[in-house]
Amino acid sequence: MITVAIAEDHQSLIDGVQLLLKYEDDISIVGKANDGEELLNIVRRKQPKVVLMDIRMPKIDGIAATNIIKKEFPSIKVIAFSMFDQEDAIKQMVNAGASGYLLKNSPLDEVLTAIQQVAQGGTYFDAAIDPSLLSKDAKPQEKKQVLSKSEREVLKLIGQGKTSSEIAAIRFNSVSTIETHRKNIIRKLGLQGKGELLRYAIEKKYDF
């Protein structure tokens, strides 16, 4: 029997995965958590074979939780489950010991395949992920170094959900100055507009 714990802060996704696995005779969901702290409590009590791990969670994020789990229970397999495919998030999960990485826009049946493969000692990574990122300690391109100090500070505040007006007030700048910083960050990082900038800033907010 493959025992599974699910860590995901969107209950609808937990429900979807639970429905998918409901009729699998060889898989049993032994715990569901909406934040990293709750997950660690479940893992310590139940010691599942596989953890399906959201990266962005309240209290303890998925990368930190994976590090803790792999140190305390090296045999537990972790599959990252994320909306984002930024290379440093992937690398940090791989270096923390994750055996798989799935994007949330992948077909749900891939979750089943990933669980079965990692439980047997294999790995499973979404086809959209660059294979060069999947070896431990490979160095992702460090994009943030091309940004100025001011741009990095603005990017951090964007990742915290601040608007241009709020950032301007915090930094004692004009809104137009912050908008210029936004445009320069988008250009330097090769991003496609403000939506992708926001996703990038949110995913990287733990690494400034």
List the CATH number of the domain containing 25: 3.40.50.2300
pLDDT of 44: 97
More confident residue, 173 or 135: 173
β 50-54/27-33 pair status: unpaired
**92 and 162 share a domain?**
no
pLDDT of 144: 46
Last residue of a domain, one of 133, 161, 176: 133
- Tens of pLDDT along 88-143? 778 888 889 999 998 888 787 889 999 999 999 999 988 877 666 665 554 444 44
- The answer to whether residue 138 sits within a structural domain is no
Last residue of a domain, one of 110, 133, 156: 133
pLDDT of 86: 66
**151 and 94 share a domain?**
no
Between CA 89 and CA 91 the distance in angstroms is 5
Q: Which residues of 176-193 are buried (b: 16+ CB within 10 A; e: fewer)?
A: ebbeebbeebbeebebee
pLDDT of 186: 84
**74 and 164 share a domain?**
no
pLDDT range class, residue 76, cuts 50, 70, 90? very high
- The answer to whether residue 203 sits within a structural domain is yes
**60 and 157 share a domain?**
no
- The answer to whether residue 125 sits within a structural domain is yes
- The answer to whether residue 104 sits within a structural domain is yes
Domain that holds residue 49: 2-133
- The answer to whether residue 188 sits within a structural domain is yes
How many CB atoms lie under 10 A from the CB of residue 101? 26
Model's pTM, two decimal places? Answer: 0.64
Last residue of a domain, one of 133, 161, 191: 133
Count of domains for the chain: 2
